[in-house]
Amino acid sequence: MKKSIVLYKSKYGSAKKYAEWISEELNCKVLDMDKVDISSLHVFDNIICGQGIYAGNFSVGKDLANIIETYPQKNYIFYSVSLSDPNSEVDRDSILKSVESAIGSANLDKVKVFFFRGDYYFSKMTLVHKAMMWMMKNMLKRKPEEEKTDDDRALIENYNGSFEFADKSYIVDLINYVKGIGLV
């Protein structure tokens, strides 16, 4: 039987929530990326790793690139968690570009990527993040009206409120992928 582990980096809980849902479905271990000892990963066949997107970036990419370089033969699955709708083609492309720049284009072919949508709670944010969101809201406001997406408008109106988009149904494709190609 193949062994999986889910690693996550989560500032406000969404990527962690998805990691726990995936680990329940696959009956596998789940661990905060910051607590991972890379040498202990040799026992796993499948490494599933996820993080929320921050200003278009994933800081977890460097850690994941190190793991891929240490164990190039394992199966890698990455899930992104974003506020923007991951079903939109434009958002997927920009998320994929961010994943590529985080893990390096040479590693992109080795990683299957899934896109999830997360929660957003302004009241829980650090002051720096609150300031970043205020700036993002003002930047979006300056976009020409015809270029604004529905997500842009929702954030302009409610940047200092909350959105609850995390939903277990997003993981179905990932679980089917892992089960379907005999990774369990």
Ligand X SMILES: Cc1cc2nc3c(=O)[nH]c(=O)nc-3n(C[C@H](O)[C@H](O)[C@H](O)COP(=O)(O)O)c2cc1C
Judged by the rule CB under 6 A, the positions of this chain that interact with ligand X are 10-15, 52-56, 81-84, 118-120, 125, 129, 132-133
45 vs 151, which CB is nearer to ligand X? 151
- State in angstroms the smallest separation of the CB of 44 from ligand X: 22
Whichever of 5 and 52 has its CB closer to ligand X, that residue is: 52
Smallest separation (angstroms) from ligand X to the CB of 171:
14
Q: Residue 142 CB, nearest distance to ligand X (Å)?
A: 16
CB of 15 to ligand X, least distance (A): 3
Residue 15 or 111 with smaller CB distance to ligand X: 15
C-beta of 157: minimal distance to ligand X in Å? 16
Nearer to ligand X, 28 or 133 (CB): 133
Encoding tokens for residue 82?
């974003």
Is the CB of 55 or the CB of 181 nearer to ligand X? 55
- Cα–Cα distances (Å) from 6 to 12, 96, 108, 128, in that order, read 17, 20, 18, 29
3-state secondary structure string, the chain? CCCEEEEEECCCCHHHHHHHHHHHHHCCEEEEHHHCCHHHHHHCCEEEEEEECECCECCCHHHHHHHHHHCCCCEEEEEEEECCCCCCHHHHHHHHHHHHHHHCHHHHCCEEEEEEECEEEHHHCCHHHHHHHHHHHHHHHCCCHHHCCHHHHHHHHHCCCEEECCCHHHHHHHHHHHHHCCCC
